[in-house]
Structure 1
Amino acid sequence: MSKLGDDLIESLEEVLAYKRGEIALPTRTVSPLPPARIKAIRKRVAKSPKEFERRFHVPARTMEGWEQGRRQPDPAAVALLRVIEKNPDAVEAALAD
């Protein structure tokens, strides 16, 4: 078997051991963003959900759901929102490439 195959098998065995509670793996918890903060982030960088969609490729309806508390962004979306909050121009530039 190849090195890649061996590594995949080892990784899957580790996942199974974690799922069975046999080992602990390092984890990071991403705190959720409250709807008011999501709306504040959006308002700081865009006048409307549609403008936010144009700049950052997050659908306007998704933003509206998060802002109204009907849905919660997943950890990756929370990370994106936090980066937009800190440096919207960098995110916009990265998306333009």
Structure 2
Amino acid sequence: MLTEKELLERGAGRDIGAELLESVRQMKAGKRGAVHAVDVPQVVQARIHAGLSQSQFAALMGVSVRTLQDWEQGRRNPSGAACTLLRIAAKHPEVIREMQADWVLSPCL
């Protein structure tokens, strides 16, 4: 972390306008910096493919939104029946969408 004095010294020698123009030239030329791939957890992919919000998906899974968030952020791992349901959701999002439509009419069997 730089001190305020160090920041001022560093900034004093910069030509921000020239740096911005150079950046625009690079963008127009198609140049870009490093490209990073984001690894999206499978539970997030399953929920998104089903087209459901976290609260909708959590209700269908029978867990709290907080539990779903823990799964999505890698703080906890689903186990047992939840794991099986997540595999079904990932492979067959249409089934999850159908369950969601039925859930509105009758939450439990």
Q: Give the TM-score normalised by structure 1.
A: 0.50
Which residue is equivalent to 1:60? 65
Contact kept? 1:83, 1:91, Cα under 8 Å: no
Query: After TM superposition, what 4+ stretches of structure 1 lie above 6 angstroms from structure 2?
Result: none
Separation in 2, partners of 1:89, 1:47: 8
Provide the secondary structure at the position in 2 that maps to 1:70.
coil
Structure 1 residue 70: Cα displacement: 0.2
Separation in 1, partners of 2:72, 2:99: 20
Structure 2 counterpart of 1:59, one-letter code:
S
Which residue is equivalent to 1:84? 89
Q: What is the CA deviation profile of residues 38-61 of structure 1, one whole-angstrom value per residue up to 9, with x for unaligned ones? A: 111111224421121344433211
Contact kept? 1:66, 1:72, Cα under 8 Å: yes
Separation in 1, partners of 2:77, 2:108: 26
Contact kept? 1:49, 1:60, Cα under 8 Å: yes
Q: Quick one: percent identity of the two aligned structures?
A: 28
Segments of structure 2 that go 5 or more residues without pairing to the other structure are 1-38
Size of the alignment, in residue pairs? 64
The structure number with the bigger radius of gyration is 2
Q: What is the CA deviation profile of residues 2-33 of structure 1, one whole-angstrom value per residue up to 9, with x for unaligned ones? A: xxxxxxxxxxxxxxxxxxxxxxxxxxxxxxxx
Separation in 2, partners of 1:61, 1:46: 19
Segments of structure 1 that go 5 or more residues without pairing to the other structure are 1-33
